[in-house]
Structure 1
Amino acid sequence: MLVTAAFIGPGTVTACASAGIGFGYALLWALVFATLATAILQAMAARVALVTGQGLAEAILSAAGNPALRWVMAALIFASLAIGNSAYQAGNISGTAAGLKLLGLHAAHPALLALATGTLAAMMILIGKPAWLEKLLIALVLAMSLAFVGGLAVIEVDWLRVAGGLLPQLPADSLFTAIALIGTTVVPYNLFLHAASVRGKFAADAEGLAASRLDTALSVTLGGLLSMAIVIMGAATAKLTASGAGPLDDIALRLETLFGGAARSVFALGLIGAGFSSALTAPLATGYVLAEMIGGTGDPDRRARIFKGTALAVVTIGTVFAVLSVNPVQLILIAQSANGLLLPILAAFLLWVAARKASLGEFANGPIANIAGTAVVLVCAGLGARLILRSAGLWP
């Protein structure tokens, strides 16, 4: 559930709502691909962690024998997590604050709501125990699941058009949004978070690995279905009058127009659950990875200090940007597209480690896993390359 809590954040809600409002059901296929890709990569990350007894960053850097290659890998991992997650955190905190406003706290200044959200997240990271935090995250995931699925249940949906959206297509000007949908689902930091959190929960044997795969498949499928529900909500309400304030406000207004204030409140609760769960998991993932990379193996106290210091730094940076009222919507979409560009590189690192018999022995990737992982890397790389070429004017 940590994985679901991490990738269903305000960024996901924003990207999915924007996709539904702007392109109807046409980009649902991107979420189907992203959900399958996430399940494949997360299962690999969990297997690497369980078999090697290391976090994913540790396993990748340990497998790189060349010091220069190790530095390049470390830089890419740091760039995709520390920098990206700080940008995401601003969106997580702003999204939680937006949900609180939609819930009825209109009188409170957005900066105060953002500051309160950031402070609460910092306190929970500072004093919270892992088991307690995990239970809180599961509760938040269940709350947003009920909210978004409940919202979908009362909307009139054209299910034939939904089925048509499962066929790959790219309407005009939709490539950026399609990559953002993939980038908000196949989240690089989730690979590292999953690897860090799964150790000790499953045995490093065939039975434990099978249980881990089932756990991953169920959680990722739930997250993918929630993302699709938000796209469908945006598409099904797109013809109604919009507020013009942004996709989150637009969906809230349209739901209120259709079903009254209760529907707006349900959507707000889902957004709060999405925002606050991600406001906890993004700093946790960054803290885990930096502690693995520079914390050493012989001093648990030093690793704990690096972990908490890094996590609190991510919360602080995100809170500052949120308090300064930096508009998170474009920032989130750009960060997700950047994630989509970095993803093939990090996925290739993961695929390389998961296929190494020197690291995983009998549990290394077989032919089917290698083919599936390679397909994910190639599709993500192709979409990212096309975006770069279009930005440079080299692709129509």
Structure 2
Amino acid sequence: MKNLFKNIGPGPLVAAAFIGPGTVTLCTLAGINFGFGLLWALLLSIFATVILQEMAARLGIVTQKGLSETLREEVQHPILKTLIVTLILSAIVIGNAAYEAGNISGGALGIETLFGKFKFAGLDVWPILIGISAFVMLWIGNYKVIERSLIALVVLMSLAFIVTAILTKPDITAVFKGLFTPRISNQNILTVIGLIGTTVVPYNIFLHASLAKTKWDSKSDLKYARKDTIIAVVLGGVVSMCIVICAAAVNQKNIANAADLALGLQPLFGEFAGFFLSIGLFAAGITSAIAAPLAAAFVTSGCLGWKSNLKSKKFRMVWAFILLLGVVFSSVGFKSIEIIKFAQVANGLLLPIIAGVLLWIMNKSNILGPHKNALIQNILGIVIFAVTIFLGGKTILSVFNVI
């Protein structure tokens, strides 16, 4: 058991990053509007995420560098390098700053569902307390402390959502039908794009490479990294599926988020269902509130050539700025639609670029030697690359209301 926990690495942190309040809300709406019918989209996204995250972890361990550092060194053309670095910083740093308020607000919503609102001097107190908790954990600057804290929260979140799904007693035959029968229509296409896009996240690829080199420094550890990635991403996917299953059990259309879902489940399946769902929402919010600033700090450090030291002033300055914005915006209820739209467009552009560049790097013998991609990994990677182009294009078009 000691060895098992010793070799649990960045995987749970990656799962914590992609299962935030936004994912919880999207899965809730998918279940409310389409029942079990879109579970196949989550299955597809889990598969794609495992492939890309395994490549990122392998790159970090073999090179002992993050993805942004490797990109800065390998892209030689000055104009191309500037464009890529600018896009990465725009999508990851501004994007995470835009979404951080949602992460903190989501965690606060989970607490509010359990204990009610708590205001002081006109400000919501729960977002401030969540922000302080995230700040303390990141300020300690100890990877093991952050890792173990997030693993505990991810386990709590997973158990909460899985138990809630079991309490709803879903039709197992219908669940399997939804998993293995892909259906796309004009009505569900944007939700499908959202479910895949919220799981295959660009900043997680950067985060995973940076955390893998922090956790492991020997190529013999690759087997542990691979196992860690598969288990964590699959568990994260199961959590997302459980949220869809919970939402599918409620025959109400006036549910807008997981807090509404928690209240909707109580009369049908008892107070425990709502209680567990609220705990899951809180854990999803606080884990993402920690992971998003951390990812932004790693990306910024790599792009600008800083040392990726958790205790360095520049590193702390980046995550503290993003965390502070999130706390302020969530406490006063500020929502900048334009900033979020910009982040969505930047992420839509970034995902296929990063998937393509990652594939390119993973085939370079001078970087990875014998650990470069095998034929099957390249075939799967190319298929995923094509999917990311489709997703990116649809995301940008949907932001501008073209589709």
Question: Is this a same-fold pair by TM over 0.5?
Answer: yes
Residue 36 in 1 paired to residue 47 in 2? yes
Q: Counterpart of 1:7?
A: 18
Give the structure 2 partner of residue 91 of structure 1. 102
Aligned mates of 2:55, 2:170 — CA distance in 1 = 36
Q: 1:259 aligns with which of 269, 280, 283?
A: 269
Partner of 1:147: 160
- The 5 A counterparts of 1:162-241 are 162-166=175-179, 167-205=181-219, 207-237=220-250, 239-240=251-252
Answer yes or no: is the 8 Å Cα contact 2:21–2:107 preserved in 1: yes
CA distance in 2, matches of 1:85, 1:389: 21
Give 2:260's aligned amino acid.
D
Once the two structures are superposed, residues 289-339 of structure 1 have per-residue CA deviations (whole angstroms, 9 ceiling, x without a partner) of 111222445xx7798212110000110111122122136999979966863
User: SS where residue 183 of structure 2 aligns?
Assistant: coil
Q: Could you tell me whether the CA contact under 8 Å between 2:63 and 2:367 is conserved in 1?
A: yes
* Post-superposition offset of 1:148: 0.3
> C-alpha separation between the residues in 1 aligned to 2:19 and 2:124?
23
What whole-Å deviation, never above 9, does each CA across 1:77-105 have from its counterpart, x for those lacking one?
11221011111211110001101101123
Q: Gapped runs of 5+ residues in structure 2?
A: 1-11
- Cα 1:92–1:81 change in 2 (3 A) is same
CA contact (8 A) 1:341 1:380 kept: no
In the TM superposition, what is the alpha-carbon distance from 1:365 to its structure 2 partner? 1.0
**How many residues were matched structurally?**
389
Distance of aligned partners of 1:185 and 1:312 in 2 relative to their CA distance in 1, 3 Å threshold? same
Q: Pick from 287, 290, 297: which aligns with 1:280?
A: 290
2:305 paired with 1:291: no
1:356 alignment partner AA: K
Q: Could you state the TM-score of these two structures normalised by the residue count of structure 2? A: 0.89
Offset from partner CA, 1:256-284 (integer Å, 9 cap, x none): 11233332221111111111011101101
Matches within 5 A, 1:314-325: 314-325=322-333
Indicate conservation of the 8 Å contact 1:180/1:336, yes or no.
no
CA distance 1:338–1:115, shift in 2 (3 Å): same
Is 1:158 matched up with 2:171? Answer: yes
Q: In the superposition, relative to structure 1, how do residues 303 and 247 fare at CA in structure 2: closer, same or farther (>3 Å)? A: closer
Matched with 1:378 is 386
Q: Is the 8 A contact 2:356 2:385 kept in 1?
A: yes
The 1-side partners of 2:38 and 2:23 are apart by 14
Specify the SS of the correspondent of 2:184: coil
Give the AA of the match of 1:45: A
CA spacing shift, 1:390–1:108, aligned 2, 3 Å: closer
- Give, in whole Å, the separation in 1 of the partners of 2:398 and 2:97: 27
Asked if 2 retains the 8 angstrom alpha-carbon contact of 1:180 and 1:337, the reply is no
User: Deviation string for 1:157-179 (max 9, x for gaps)?
Assistant: 12222222222222333222212
Q: Does 1:66 pair with 2:77?
A: yes
Per-residue deviation, 1:128: 4.5
Aligned amino acid, residue 23 of structure 1: F
Distance in structure 2 (CA, Å) of the matches to 1:177 and 1:254: 22
Identity of aligned residues (%): 41
For the residue of structure 1 that corresponds to 2:182, the secondary structure is coil
Q: Which runs of 5+ in 1 are unaligned?
A: none
**Counterpart-to-counterpart distance in 1, 2:78 and 2:310:** 24
Residues 110 and 259 in structure 2, CA contact (< 8 A), matched pair in contact too: no
